Amino acid sequence: MRRILLAAFAALIVSLPGWAAADTWPSRPITLVYPFPPGGSDAAVRVFAERLGAALGQPVVVDNRGGAGGNIGAESVARAAPDGYTLMIGTNGALAINSLLYPNMHFDPLKDFEPISGFVTSPQVLFINSTVPAKSVAELIALAKAEPGKLTFASVGQGSASQLTMEMFKMATGTDLVHVPYKGAGPAMVDVMAGRISMMAIIASSIVPHMGSDKVRVLAVTADKRFELLPEVPTLKELGIDGVESWSWLAMVAPKGTPEPIVRRINAEMKKILADPAVKKKLNGFGVQTNYSSPEAVTAAMKNDQRIWGRVIQESGTKIE
């Protein structure tokens, strides 16, 4: 019994510095890593960082650390001190999908992070160049089946959610479409709009600014229900196509071992910030909707994405070249 008590006391002593630090946190600026270059959801992250900094009484500085589909920035956070001064808003790619694609990742998203809360979410949107002779998803499928291997689809990168959504679409519809990977949404969008590529699936925030363009035709969203920011666009499920549901989401995490009081404090502040109508309106303007959640819900989302996309990756043979 004495040995057990001594061991418990020793464990308590070891844990005290972290909990003591949590009492004075934050006493200096916080780094919020976004593991991608500036652009895209970066704007939403910066709006949130400003509000979080005001709530915590210390600046929250966004640090763009792009590369390897988010792995470079994510690994740096996984290796950072668990003191609450390094946080990350990562995508479901960096937090779930990449571990299925990169054989030599040096961190495990499920083991090396403390989930804090969901941040924002957006479905993928299927759109085609306006010169493609199809006015609907049904006509697009018929065209693809009539000319197998002729129609092309762009993605924001090999192994991205953009590609995997289209691989899922191919599997569900029995179509033969040719993948053309790009390095980022910008160049991919340019080539689809120019007619060099037939179609693409991309997060709503990237297509919303082009909704009125005569160069593209938006056909459907890959959600279980209509996306509140694009209420006029039907879901694939409505159109009779089951098994194609793809949401991109961002969530806040910290290095494993970050004291629980700090995790709880950030989660509580996120709940208030993301419920603010002014913040919701601003983030909606970027084509995303707020998605506050518990830490446990973030873990569940990570596991669910690994299950869903693991099957798609295996059946489609998708690999990182």
Residue 270 — pLDDT band, cuts 50, 70, 90?
Answer: very high
- Look at residues 168, 202, 221 and tell me which one is the last residue of a structural domain: 221
- Look at residues 186, 221, 256 and tell me which one is the last residue of a structural domain: 221
The pLDDT, as a whole number, for residue 147 is 95
For 11-24, write each residue's pLDDT tens digit. Answer: 555 455 554 566 88
For 91-119, write each residue's pLDDT tens digit. Answer: 999 999 999 999 889 999 999 999 999 99
Residue 25 — pLDDT band, cuts 50, 70, 90?
Answer: very high
Indicate whether 91 belongs to any domain. yes
Q: Indicate the average pLDDT of the chain.
A: 92
Instruction: Assess whether pLDDT exceeds 90 at residue 181.
Output: yes
Average pLDDT of the residues in 184-205 = 93
Indicate whether 235 belongs to any domain. no
Indicate whether 227 belongs to any domain. no
Average pLDDT of the residues in 31-55 = 92
Average pLDDT of the residues in 132-150 = 97
User: Looking at the structure, do residues 100 and 76 belong to the same domain, yes or no?
Assistant: yes
Q: Are 215 and 43 in contact (CB under 8 A)?
A: no
Instruction: Assess whether pLDDT exceeds 70 at residue 5.
Output: no
Q: Are 38 and 95 in contact (CB under 8 A)?
A: no
CATH code where residue 183 lies: 3.40.190.10
User: Looking at the structure, do residues 76 and 155 belong to the same domain, yes or no?
Assistant: no
Q: Which residue has the higher pLDDT, 205 or 59?
A: 59
Lowest mean pLDDT among 18-22, 29-33, 107-111, 193-197: 18-22
Average pLDDT of the residues in 269-285 = 96
User: Looking at the structure, do residues 85 and 170 belong to the same domain, yes or no?
Assistant: no
User: Looking at the structure, do residues 180 and 77 belong to the same domain, yes or no?
Assistant: no
User: Looking at the structure, do residues 205 and 261 belong to the same domain, yes or no?
Assistant: no
User: Looking at the structure, do residues 208 and 266 belong to the same domain, yes or no?
Assistant: no
Count of beta carbons in the 10 Å neighbourhood of residue 101: 20
Q: Which residues of 199-235 are buried (b: 16+ CB within 10 A; e: fewer)?
A: bbbbbbbbbbeeeeeeebbbbbbbbeeebebbeebbb
Task: Please name which of 112, 168, 126 lies closest in space to residue 310, comparing C-alpha atoms.
Answer: 168
User: Looking at the structure, do residues 85 and 156 belong to the same domain, yes or no?
Assistant: no
Strands (E), the chain: 30-34, 60-64, 86-91, 113-129, 152-155, 178-181, 199-203, 216-221, 247-255, 289-290
User: Looking at the structure, do residues 105 and 164 belong to the same domain, yes or no?
Assistant: no
Indicate whether 94 belongs to any domain. yes
With residue 144 as reference, give the H or E element that holds it. Answer: helix 137-146
Task: Please name which of 248, 243, 101, 224 lies closest in space to residue 174, comparing C-alpha atoms.
Answer: 243
Structural domains counted in the chain: 2
- Look at residues 221, 239, 262 and tell me which one is the last residue of a structural domain: 221
Indicate whether 240 belongs to any domain. no
Strands (E), 22-181: 30-34, 60-64, 86-91, 113-129, 152-155, 178-181
Indicate whether 230 belongs to any domain. no
Parent domain of 298: 2-121+248-316
User: Looking at the structure, do residues 278 and 300 belong to the same domain, yes or no?
Assistant: yes
User: What's the distance, CA 82 to chain centroid?
Assistant: 23
Indicate whether 234 belongs to any domain. no
User: Looking at the structure, do residues 180 and 284 belong to the same domain, yes or no?
Assistant: no
User: Looking at the structure, do residues 103 and 135 belong to the same domain, yes or no?
Assistant: no
User: Looking at the structure, do residues 173 and 68 belong to the same domain, yes or no?
Assistant: no
Return the C-alpha torsion angle 312, 315, 317, 320, nearest 10.
20
Indicate whether 291 belongs to any domain. yes
CATH code where residue 252 lies: 3.40.190.150
The pLDDT, as a whole number, for residue 13 is 52
